[in-house]
Homo-oligomer: A and B are copies of this chain.
């Protein structure tokens, strides 16, 4: 039984379009690699969770530290903003009846969302993280996932940052706390993800 899920985070047009005030240099270049991984998961019955940011039009759920940029930038990444800098995923991702969609109000895919409950219901033990940005939404999701007992793999070529240096330093820090770094191609080719969570569970159950 498959106990792995792909978590595709915040690959919304608002972050991909150079005309958007939320533009993340590097994110658009990962769209093809992300699209390949999404297709692979759908073909192999690996659940795909699209976890994306959504704000209310009155600003009541926008982080206070982002509020000025959100208001001045035409309220990007909100249902109220123009489609071109909006909340939709790129067309390359397509849609599938098996997709799950979760809206999050903060950085982490787990923060005040139903994601953890759904993953538990599905028996997911390993989460594969992709999307943008590496220092913020990928990284907070990584720390939360490890804290919640999931194995975590981060797809190095399917995540992105404003600069190469930010990308590198954040991947290193995540690896230092036990996340596994792997390329989308290697993962699709069968490179294993360590099931550290199951191993530790067995050790504690039998009494270390």
Interface residues of A (CB under 8 A from B): 58-60, 62-67, 71, 106-108, 111-112, 135-136, 140, 143-144, 146-147, 149, 151, 165-166, 169-170, 173, 176-179, 196-197, 199-201, 203-204, 207-208
Contacts and interface: CB of A to CB of B under 8 A. Distances in A.
A164 B166 CA distance: 15
A140 to B, nearest CB: 5
B196 A65 contact: yes
A200 B143 contact: no
Given A59-B200, A169-B166, A147 B111 contact: yes
Interface centre among A136, A170, A200, A207 (most CB of B within 10 A): A200
Given A107-B147, A149-B64, A200-B64, A166 B173 contact: yes
Contacts of A62: 200
B64 A143 contact: no
Given A64-B197, A136-B177, 13 more contacts: A59-B203, A59-B208, A60-B204, A63-B146, A63-B178, A64-B178, A64-B196, A65-B177, A66-B178, A107-B177, A111-B144, A112-B147, A135-B173
A136 B140 CA distance: 10
Total copies of the chain: 2
Contacts of A60: 204
A71 B208 contact: yes
A52 B71 CA distance: 38
A179 B63 CA distance: 12
Given A136-B177, A169-B165, A173-B166, A147 B200 contact: no
Nearest to A62: B200
B143 A178 contact: no
Contacts of A207: 58
A146 B107 CA distance: 10
A82 to B, nearest CB: 18
B63 A108 contact: no
A195 to B, nearest CB: 9
Nearest to A111: B147
